[in-house]
C-alpha cells in the first residue's frame, strides 16, 4: 500500500475495449484500490482525450458516457458509467485554480470520454464517488502541467484523488493487431527503450530531463507522434512532488506491440 496521503495516479486506458478485456492491465485497474490508503471522497479525472485552449471542467450533474471511438464490439457501446458530479467539488476547484492564476471555464454538457470512463469503470465500478473531468490545456508545456499538478496537490490532502489517464508509449501508426495482449517479449524494442528512459528519470526525479524528453529520450518522436497521451503524466508527477511522495511504478505491460499500459503513483 502507498503512503497514507492519497497519491495522484497516472493510469493507462489503452484501446477502449480494455473495459471488456481480461489482461494484465485490466486486472491491475480492477485492484487499483489496493494502491491507495482509503476510498477517495471525490475524483478529479484528466484524460488524454479532452484537450482544450484554456482549462475547462465538466459541470453537468450527471456525466454522460461518451463513445468517442468506432469499430469495436457492440457490447462496448452498451456499457455506461453513471458518474455523478459535485457542485462543491467544482466550486473548490474553481477557487483553487483562480487563486493560482488559472482561469477555469465550465462545460455544461461535456461527459466522460473513454480515456476517463474506461479506467474508472474498472477501478471504481460502483460509480459512487463524485467526480469531474478536467481538460488538458493545449497551451501548457510539460513543466506547466507539472506546476498545475503542484497546485492540485492541496486537493489530494482533502482525500480527493487526482487521476490522470494516458500512456507512456502510444503510437497508433505502428500497432501490432496480431498481438493485442502479447507477452512482454513481443513488445517493440524501441517502445521498451523509451519507457525505460522515462522510468529511470522519473525514479531519479530528474524533472528537467523529463520536461525536455522530446529532445533527450531515445525514440521520442516514434513513441509519441503526438504528445497528448504522455502529457497527463506530468500532472501526476507534480501532485506527488508537492506531497513529498516518492514516485512508484505500480504496473507495467504492453498491448498491440507498443501501447504502454504502465501506471505510476
SS3 content of the chain, % helix, strand, coil (to 5): 40, 20, 40
CB 119 within 8 A of CB 108: no
Give the burial class of 95: count Cβ atoms within 10 A of its Cβ; 0-12 exposed, 13-18 middle, 19 or more buried: exposed
Residue 3 lies in a domain: no
pLDDT for 73 equals 93
pLDDT for 257 equals 87
Average confidence score pLDDT of the chain: 94
Q: What angle do CA 16, 77, 171 make, to 5 degrees?
A: 20
- Name the least confident of 157-161, 184-188, 219-223: 184-188
Residue 231 sits in a domain whose CATH number is 3.40.830.10
Average pLDDT over residues 231-242: 99
CA distance 30 to 22: 10
Residue 61 lies in a domain: yes
Q: Which three cell numbers stand for residue 122?
A: 474498472
pLDDT tens digits along 202-213:
999 999 999 999
Residue 2 lies in a domain: no
pLDDT for 151 equals 98
pLDDT tens digits along 135-161:
999 999 999 999 999 999 999 889 999
- Greater model confidence, 235 or 4: 235
CA distance 27 to 21: 9
pLDDT tens digits along 32-83:
988 888 899 999 999 999 999 999 999 999 999 999 999 999 999 999 999 9
CA distance 90 to 216: 38
> Which range of residues forms the domain containing residue 97?
9-264
pLDDT for 36 equals 86
CA distance 12 to 120: 11
Number of domains observed in the structure of the chain: 1
Which residue in 191, 193, 210 sits closest to 202, CA to CA? 210
pTM of the model: 0.95
Residue 1 lies in a domain: no
Residue 116 lies in a domain: yes
pLDDT for 2 equals 47
Amino acid at each position: 500500500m502507498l503512503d497514507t496521503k492519497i497519491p495522484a495516479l497516472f493510469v493507462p486506458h489503452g484501446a477502449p475495449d480494455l473495459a471488456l478485456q481480461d489482461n494484465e492491465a485490466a486486472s491491475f485497474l480492477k485492484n487499483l484500490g489496493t494502491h491507495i490508503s482509503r476510498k477517495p471522497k471525490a475524483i478529479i479525472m484528466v484524460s488524454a482525450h479532452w484537450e482544450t485552449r484554456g482549462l475547462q471542467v465538466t459541470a453537468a450533474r450527471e456525466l454522460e458516457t461518451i463513445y468517442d471511438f468506432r469499430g469495436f464490439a457492440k457490447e462496448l457501446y452498451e456499457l455506461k458509467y453513471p458518474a455523478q458530479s459535485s457542485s462543491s467539488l467544482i466550486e473548490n476547484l474553481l477557487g483553487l485554480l483562480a487563486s493560482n492564476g488559472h482561469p477555469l471555464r465550465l462545460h455544461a454538457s461535456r461527459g466522460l470520454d473513454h480515456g476517463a470512463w474506461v479506467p474508472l469503470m474498472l477501478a471504481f465500478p460502483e460509480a459512487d464517488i463524485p467526480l469531474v473531468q478536467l481538460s488538458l490545456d493545449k497551451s501548457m508545456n510539460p513543466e506547466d502541467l507539472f506546476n498545475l499538478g503542484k497546485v492540485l496537490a492541496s486537493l489530494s490532502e482533502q482525500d480527493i484523488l487526482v487521476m490522470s489517464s494516458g500512456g507512456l508509449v502510444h503510437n497508433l501508426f505502428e500497432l501490432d493487431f496480431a498481438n493485442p495482449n502479447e507477452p512482454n517479449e513481443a513488445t517493440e524494442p524501441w517502445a521498451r527503450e523509451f519507457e525505460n528512459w522515462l522510468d529511470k528519470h522519473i525514479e531519479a526525479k530528474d524533472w528537467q530531463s523529463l520536461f525536455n524528453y522530446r529532445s533527450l529520450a531515445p525514440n521520442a518522436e516514434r513513441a509519441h507522434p503526438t504528445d497528448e497521451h504522455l502529457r497527463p503524466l506530468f500532472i501526476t508527477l507534480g501532485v506527488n512532488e508537492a506531497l513529498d511522495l516518492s514516485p512508484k511504478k505500480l504496473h507495467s505491460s504492453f498491448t498491440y506491440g507498443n501501447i504502454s499500459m504502465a501506471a505510476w503513483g
